[in-house]
């Protein structure tokens, strides 16, 4: 995979982040367990999109610039050691 990073990596905080108002991000699950990335797009939590990541997995995610992302375990509790970077493209 090739990516063009536009900002330093940041750990996704417990309170969530819009990752520098990015519309495309690269996310790495560096925690010791599977996690999910929840994208708060203003809908009810039950209707917000989520992406599940295995331990050590990286994924590129497109989102609206104002959407906040959260790193959670598979039950919805916040987790640490999940990092995101604003990128220009991924393939």
**Across 31-36, average pLDDT:** 96
Q: Which residues contact 14 (CB under 8 A, 6 or more apart)?
A: 78, 80
Q: 3-90 has which fold? A: Jelly Rolls (2.60.120)
User: Does residue 50 contact residue 37 with C-beta atoms inside 8 Å?
Assistant: yes
User: Is the pLDDT reported for residue 29 higher than 70?
Assistant: yes
pLDDT-derived band at 55 (thresholds 50, 70, 90) equals very high
Averaged pLDDT, 48-76: 96
Gap between the Cα atoms of 8 and 35, Å rounded: 22
User: What stretches of the chain adopt beta strand conformation (E)?
Assistant: 3-5, 10-11, 24-29, 35-40, 50-53, 58-62, 68-72, 82-90
Mean pLDDT of the chain: 94
| DSSP code for 49 | -
pLDDT of residue 89: 76
Sorting pLDDT into bands at 50, 70 and 90, what band is 68? very high
Sequence-distant (6+) residues with CB within 8 A of 80 are 11, 14, 31, 71
pTM (two decimals)? 0.91
Residue 3 has a pLDDT of: 83
Confidence bin at 90 (pLDDT 50/70/90): low
Which phi and psi (to 5°) does residue 72 adopt? -135, 155
């Amino acid at each position: 995979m090739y990516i063009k990073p536009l900002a330093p990596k940041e750990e996704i905080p417990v309170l969530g982040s819009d990752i520098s108002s990015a519309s495309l991000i690269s996310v790495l699950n560096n925690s010791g367990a599977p996690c999910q990335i929840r994208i708060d797009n203003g809908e009810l939590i039950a209707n917000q999109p989520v992406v599940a990541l295995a331990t050590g997995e990286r994924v590129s995610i497109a989102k609206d610039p104002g959407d906040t992302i959260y790193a959670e375990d598979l039950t919805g509790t916040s987790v640490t050691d999940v990092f995101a970077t604003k990128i220009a493209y991924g393939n």
